[in-house]
Amino acid sequence: MIETRTDGRILRGEQTRKAILRRAVDIASAEGLEGLSIGRLSTELQISKSGVFTHFGSKEELQLATVRAAVEIFVDSVVKPAHANPAGVRRVWGTFEAWLDYERQPVFAGGCFFYTVGAEFDARPGRVKDAVAHALADWLKLYERNIAEAIRMGEIVEGTDARRLAFELDAFATRAASMAHLHDDPSAYALGRAAALSRLRGVVADPSLLPSA
């Protein structure tokens, strides 16, 4: 009986933590991590301040936990769908498309969580900046590995700089999303997609592996 009550409390605690972090990532995607506070989350979710504080203990720990939660959501929303594609050019293109889909939906209320908090913390040293920088670096490394694999398979021409191409494809997508949000213009996504297709067509061995338009 005691174990059942304990398990129930643990489960409720995990559910509460998930609810707090789900709201936190949405707030941060629109307003940045400095927009988070234990008091605000307590009010919005109708949880006692002590209940929120128990899970995190400080604003910095709340921010770090929010970054980790955003990474998990990003992996589920972008990385896993991208890697459902066959290795090679189709996976590289699937990575680009998955990121655009993540922005169009959007997965986070304010758009790309990492675009927002990256700009917020890029000149502010500390643990939170390190966590954000690590997440963004991991994303580009994943892109680069997918491209390098396509080069090894002969689907992207030998001599292509995988790191540079990853940077360019990510830049096309990020700029498209920025324009779409800032100008309320969804056609920016089509511009980014066309630019990425043009860049990839210049380095693929078999253009039929890419969409025609």
Torsion of CA 49, 128, 137, 67, to 10 degrees: 0
Residues of the domain holding 159: 60-206
H helices within the chain, ranges in order? Answer: 2-31, 38-45, 49-56, 59-74, 80-82, 89-104, 113-121, 127-152, 162-182, 187-201
- Residue 143 to residue 95: CA distance in whole angstroms: 7
What is the Cα 45 distance to its own chain's centre? 24
Domains: count for the chain: 1
Kindly list the distances between the CA atom of residue 77 and the CA atoms of 70, 83, 104, 147, in Å, as whole numbers in the listed order.
Answer: 10, 11, 12, 20
User: What pLDDT score does 5 carry?
Assistant: 55
User: What pLDDT score does 66 carry?
Assistant: 97
- What's the pTM value of the predicted model, to 2 decimals? 0.89
Q: What is the pLDDT of residues 52-67, one digit of tens each?
A: 888 898 999 999 999 9
* Inside any domain, residue 110: yes
Tokens standing for 16?
């509460």
Ranges in the chain, pLDDT < 50: none
* Inside any domain, residue 147: yes
* Inside any domain, residue 27: no
- Residue 3 to residue 68: CA distance in whole angstroms: 30
| 212: three-class secondary structure by DSSP | coil
Q: What angle do CA 41, 42, 48 make, to 5 degrees?
A: 155
- Residue 34 to residue 63: CA distance in whole angstroms: 8
* CATH classification at residue 85: 1.10.357.10
User: What pLDDT score does 6 carry?
Assistant: 55
